[in-house]
Structure 1
């Protein structure tokens, strides 16, 4: 398959994966990409590739803005705290970008990694419960 066809197939697969994903899986996918962007930004900062670092940090900020927009802090006791974390890392990513500060980028990674792990675990539990319900409904 030529490279352009391979890229198109990969893009279609990724689009279909997102469109068919459950809300829990979408959240996990956002966190995975967010941490990937931050890791790439950190590596670019260490290599003094400021253009790439900036692009990665800007994309990471877009993801956090999406997470903020979808969060409903009034319906969950932990919501206001999570919103505060999101706002803090947004500010940190802006500072990391403007000041070219790899320590700020690392701080954002350190704050977000446990959240990603927690969402992965929660999504797995939801998936297992849904599978058990389907199995019980069939048999």
Structure 2
């Protein structure tokens, strides 16, 4: 990709993040989590260990951010959500450290499910405020 195109893409992405609602930012974070988990799984399957590590470590960082910003006591089912994040984190670590395909697949599945759930919640919240 040439420099001008990359620069325009970076500017567009930065603007999308800067103008997104908190709900949309959360969905965007989950979409990146799904992408990283999927890429990590594919890299594990193809034997690209360094690429798998890079993708899975980034996914772990996203989950860590989700865990650290969740006020589990302030929301209904907050403790249960925190437990899901903890489980997802363990699966990502297991996939990365042990090159465990089953753990990688579970991390992808759970990431997708959480992303879909937060996407639906954001849509409902936007409809309720409109």
TM-score bracket relative to the smaller structure: over 0.9
- Aligned partner of 1:65 in structure 2 is 64
Q: CA deviation at 1:29?
A: 0.3
* Structure 1 residue runs of 4 or more that deviate by more than 4 Å after TM superposition: none
- Aligned partner of 1:99 in structure 2 is 98
Residues of 1 paired with 2:70 and 2:115: CA distance?
A: 15
The alpha-carbon distance between structure 1 residues 126 and 77, as it changes in their structure 2 partners (threshold 3 A), is: closer
Q: CA deviation at 1:112?
A: 2.5
Structure 1 gaps, min length 5: 133-139
1:13-53: per-residue Cα shift (whole Å, max 9, x none)?
Answer: 11111111101000100110100101111111110001100
- Aligned partner of 1:14 in structure 2 is 13
CA RMSD of aligned residues (A): 1.2
Residues of 2 paired with 1:129 and 1:89: CA distance?
A: 30
1:1-139 counterparts in 2 under 5 A?
3-130=2-129, 132=130
Give the TM-score normalised by structure 2: 0.94
Give the TM-score normalised by structure 1: 0.89
Structure 2 gaps, min length 5: none
Residues of 2 paired with 1:5 and 1:113: CA distance?
A: 33
Q: CA deviation at 1:128?
A: 2.2
